[in-house]
Structure formats: C-alpha cells, structure tokens
Amino acid sequence: SQELEQSPQSLIVQEGKNLTINCTSSKTLYGLYWYKQKYGEGLIFLMMLQKGGEEKSHEKITAKLDEKKQQSSLHITASQPSHAGIYLCGAVLRAQKLVFGQGTRLTINP
C-alpha cells in the first residue's frame, strides 16, 4: 500500500474552475513537498510545507498542511491549460528519505 495516498488519482476540470488535490499520510509528516510533472518529463518543485497549519501560495496555486500534519491539500484557483500535468506530493516519512504519492493527473478542458 502507498505510504502517501493522493486523491483523486485523475481529475478533469473545465478551464477557469477551481480544484483541490489531497495528500494523506497515516504518519506525521515532517516536510511535505509538492511537485508538478509534465508528461514524460522530470519533476518541477512547487512548494514545501513544514509546520502544522502552514499555507503557501505561488501564483494561483495554494498548498496547506493541516494542524495534525498528516494531510496536505493543493488548491488551484481559476485553472488554466498550463496547470495540466501530474501533481505529486512527497514527504519524509522514514529514515529521512523522501517518498511520493502515486500522483494526480490533471487535465484542463478549454
């Protein structure tokens, strides 16, 4: 089973709509990372969260780490075609190594 569960696994939204992707762990998260991957390419770092309740934003993307530090959400406002791709959350869960969720494939329909 995945140590980090992402939901949904795929998401199709109309351009301009808001959306949320979740990342859940059964263990306390020490450092939660969000990455974006364009199909068949490497990963691009988006944000890192470390403190419970922390929230960060970059352009139209906002990520939060809940108070108990076991779940994070990524929210995109007014989605655009450039937001399409695979979003992955990564976390340090054990032995200081970063593990990843299975990813959320986001499609934006014009």
Question: Which residues contact another protein by CB under 8 A?
Answer: 2, 4, 6, 9, 30-31, 33, 35, 40-45, 48, 88, 90, 92, 95-103
C-beta closer to another protein: residue 39 or 110: 39
Residue 78 CB, shortest distance to another protein, in Å, is: 27
Strand segments (E) across 15-70: 19-25, 32-37, 43-49, 55-58, 61-65
Asked if 18 contacts 75 with a C-beta cutoff of 8 angstroms, the reply is yes
Amino acid letter at 59? E
Instruction: Report helix, strand or coil for 18.
Output: coil
Residue 84 CB, shortest distance to another protein, in Å, is: 17
Residue 71 CB, shortest distance to another protein, in Å, is: 17
C-beta closer to another protein: residue 28 or 80: 28
C-beta closer to another protein: residue 37 or 73: 37
CB count within 10 Å of CB 72 equals: 26
What the block records as the tokens of 88 is: 């992955």
